[in-house]
Structure 1
Amino acid sequence: MMNLPGLNLATPVADAPPIAVVEKHEHNLRIYTEYRFEVSFARTLTIKLLEGTAEYFGTELAPTQTYSFSGTKGAIFTWHGCRLEVSGEAESEYVAEETGMVAYANAHLALEGLRDRGGLEGGPRVLVVGPENAGKTSLCKILTAYAVKVGRQPMMVNLDPRQGMLSVPGSLSTAAFSSILDVEEGWGSSPISGPSPIPVKMPLVYHYGLANPEEGKVFKPLVTRMALAVISRLEEEPLSKSVGFVIDTPGSISAGKGGVYDNIEHIVSEFSINVVFVLGSERLYSDLSRKYQNRPTDEAVNVVRLDKSGGCVDRDEAYMKQFRQAQIRAYFFGSDKENGLAPHSQTSDFGDLNIFRIAEDSSNAYGHDEDDMYSRPSGIYEKTIPTLSIQNSLLAVTTASPADRQEVIRDASVRGYVYVSDVDETKKKVRLLLPQPGQTPANAMILGSFPEDVPGLVS
């Protein structure tokens, strides 16, 4: 399901918003300043570097190349000064003189020092934590981009189901980065994303299917499974082992309950984390520093506080929903408007689908005791027959057989996703949208409650 899709279904064309005629204007940025902007999903902002040097979350802009942005909030920073040409309509734009880039660059240099001294033990294993909208993902991009820039091959791990990385929202993913990040597309492209000037990445994906890691007991087992995969990969690839990895996390796990951060502690333990960057929360920094301050040298965890960037803004749920739907649309139809993808539509019988819905009581699937976490896996999923309730939903096609035990299905990686565009309960037929033509996958498919339904993906 990772091949390029078929050519028998055209990309749906939404009504184009009225074109606003906006004259080009320029911004002259002094050293250590950044141009911050917000642009809606209905508009496009284009930016061109005319003079000097500049970077977008750690990735350098090519001179005179035009970059297009839509539905994003970004910042272009310059170390030596630059001149930008901007055209389009932004909801907000300004030049900021106070940024966190110097601190983030120092964090990168500190990690480089650890990599040079790591030897056979490997590079730093970095965890980034903090509340929502603190700039965690931006910091992860910067650290990854800087490592690639100096010839490293870092691994990036996304444990935030609300933000897809080389996959759709609702998933947890990891990938090794040996080429630069894509300025316009963020983390870059996977094989199903369509044409790209940047080499594609091959992510390993697990499906979580819930919005909040605090909702149930599925998150911890998947973290354990991801940690096993990442550490095994590092042992097989010396280039990645010497560099280590960076982990992005959801803000919800940083809220804590009475100073206890159960999911953070689980990630630290499973991944053998030795560096924790805390963004935007002095309380979290204080709690974690106190917890890890007296550990043995070979198990030391260095907790470092970094200031939240002034460019971080709250992203309301309406924006995040649009953002998720844009990611899902790009998964099936590509992000390149001129060279879009054309997924395959086909009709399947109810009996051809092996759908497992995340059980509503999955939060109690493993009991309440840590020692009992893996002892009662029977409540993870419920086998479900297609109904109208699954229309407009995504199904994660796993590598597991429907006859496998439920914990095997839970821990199975994802081959790809299919979209349920129509359900006919009378004829017991389901119309599916697949990235490529072929037989209906016989593998176990997971239906979660997140991401939410995406109506109108296929018109």
Structure 2
Amino acid sequence: MVAQEASNTNTYFNLTARQELRLECSNGRPVSIRLEEGIAEVFGTELNRGRAVSVTGQKVAVFTWVGCRVSVQGEPTVMYVADETPMASYLNVHQTLDQRREEAKRAGPGSAGSNGPVVVVVGPTDSGKSTLCRLLGNWAVRSGWQPTFVDLDVGQGTITVPGCLSAVPLEQPVDIEEGFIADLPLVFFFGHSSPGDNPALFKSLADKLAALLQRRAAAADPRVAASGLIINTFGWVDGLGYELQKHIIQAFQCDVVLVVEQDRLYATLQQDLKVTCPRTNILKLAKSGGAVKREGDERRGAREQRIREYFYGTARTPLQPATQTIRATDLAVYRIGTGPRAPSTTLPVGSASLADPLRLQNLPPSLEQLQCLLAVSHAATPDQILNANVAGFVLVKDVDTARGTLTITAPAPGPLPGRYLIMGSVRSSME
């Protein structure tokens, strides 16, 4: 049982040890939480006593190991207290990872075991993978480590906009209101919300990101190298999606695979990785009861919100986006791939698909580009586009084919950091 009382617009909860207050809040109704007494955390980030924290538009869980009193201001869509959570098993995983980090640090620079654990979290859609990654990352930071968080879930975008493979070092716990604060994340633009839209490109970018992070670890401070990686993945775990999951495990040389919820996925990975990755430890973890299924409209709305936050910031840290009109001759817009490659089983016997998933196609200004999210590449020449990460993003607001101009919105005024732009299928209706 949990004590609950209401006062005006505030609802108070007295949580006992290992209880969790779960909230689902819509975007249109302001909701905040405040720790009144005791100790509590949200996905591994500690709450400061007496400070109200906005959770509008979020699904959050306030967990306490020792007991606490929490107040909720506003009216969440869903609000309840759970007695049963998988937090103890998640903490056991964190403690095991911490032991490996200590061993890697003791091994010293240049030795075979100097790099910390490379952890990948896999599981079906809406099984709580992102939450588990956030928990493990926050607990590692609070233990004095600086793991690198890698987000390969191109459908949502935790570090930056959807459609990207990205990585950022965690130097402080993730802010409950702002999310991941990444001044200079390492980002490769895939350009689509599903890895199945161009699996060859997804594999290529995953290989490049993995190789770059491995080189960085070799040159990093010993404690940073020993902190390792925490990798979030997409929820497609069948057929081609499963093959892409295995490619991720091999490309990043993952030595710990955490499987959330699905027995079949756990058993299949155990069987398949015996040969290709014999030293990889595979653990099955329970799904949190707070992980709820999101319908397609809600997932699309979340993508739209991530794009809006990239350009406009949040209520606490707003941005002033700038719109400018640029001659098309001063830019070059490219698409990677000429469309999805048809499966060989659907083609006539003896024929092959002509679509090249890694072909660069230069695009003239066209109405097709309206409301498209374009990535600004660091590439100095077109032939570097496939290998270069991106500096940021712009949104196409208008195309004048007669005058040969593009009107674009950027998160800040000033010239773009590059003239080569990459177009995918990610769009936004943002005004």
Question: Is TM > 0.5 for Structure 1 vs Structure 2?
Answer: yes
Cα offsets for 1:1-50 (capped at 9, x unmatched): xxxxxxxxxxxxxxxxxxxx971111111111101011111112110000
Q: Distance in 2 between matches of 1:293 and 1:305?
A: 16
Identity of aligned residues (%): 36
Deviation at 1:442, TM superposition (A): 4.6
Paired residues for 1:11-160 under 5 Å: 23-118=9-104, 119=107, 120=111, 121=113, 122-160=115-153
User: What's 1:418 paired with?
Assistant: 394
Cα offsets for 1:136-156 (capped at 9, x unmatched): 000000000000001011111
**Matched AA of 2:118:** R
- 1:211 equivalenced with 2:185 (yes/no): no
**Matched AA of 1:190:** A
Deviation at 1:295, TM superposition (A): 6.8
Contact 1:344–1:435 (Cα < 8 Å) also in 2: yes
Among 263, 268, 271, the residue aligned to 1:290: 271
Paired residues for 1:370-389 under 5 Å: 379-389=358-368
User: What's 2:209 paired with?
Assistant: 226
**Matched AA of 2:320:** A
Deviation at 1:83, TM superposition (A): 0.7
**Matched AA of 1:261:** Y
User: What's 1:399 paired with?
Assistant: 378
Q: Distance in 2 between matches of 1:440 and 1:115?
A: 40
Deviation at 1:443, TM superposition (A): 2.6
Q: Distance in 2 between matches of 1:81 and 1:333?
A: 38
User: What's 2:282 paired with?
Assistant: 303
SS of equivalent to 1:143: helix
Paired residues for 1:173-192 under 5 Å: 173-187=166-180, 189-191=181-183
Q: Distance in 2 between matches of 1:404 and 1:133?
A: 38
Deviation at 1:321, TM superposition (A): 1.6
Paired residues for 1:429-448 under 5 Å: 429-440=405-416, 442-448=418-424
What TM-score results when the alignment is normalised by the length of structure 2? 0.89
Unaligned runs of 5+ in 2: 1-6, 347-354
SS of equivalent to 1:363: coil
User: What's 1:265 paired with?
Assistant: 246
Contact 1:22–1:87 (Cα < 8 Å) also in 2: no
**Matched AA of 2:66:** H
421-430 vs 214-223, which deviates more? 421-430
Deviation at 1:362, TM superposition (A): 4.7
User: How many residues end up aligned between the 2 structures?
Assistant: 407
Q: Distance in 2 between matches of 1:454 and 1:404?
A: 26
Contact 2:12–2:72 (Cα < 8 Å) also in 1: yes
| Backbone CA RMSD of aligned residues | 2.2
Q: Distance in 2 between matches of 1:345 and 1:211?
A: 25
Deviation at 1:360, TM superposition (A): 4.0
Contact 1:348–1:440 (Cα < 8 Å) also in 2: no
CA separation of 1:295 and 1:317: change in aligned 2, threshold 3 A:
closer
User: What's 2:318 paired with?
Assistant: 340
**Matched AA of 2:371:** N
Contact 2:391–2:417 (Cα < 8 Å) also in 1: no
Contact 2:34–2:53 (Cα < 8 Å) also in 1: yes
Contact 1:354–1:442 (Cα < 8 Å) also in 2: no
Deviation at 1:304, TM superposition (A): 0.2
SS of equivalent to 1:183: coil
CA separation of 1:136 and 1:66: change in aligned 2, threshold 3 A:
same
Q: Distance in 1 between matches of 2:270 and 2:415?
A: 53
4+ residue runs over 6 A deviation: none
Deviation at 1:353, TM superposition (A): 2.0
Q: Distance in 1 between matches of 2:21 and 2:358?
A: 50
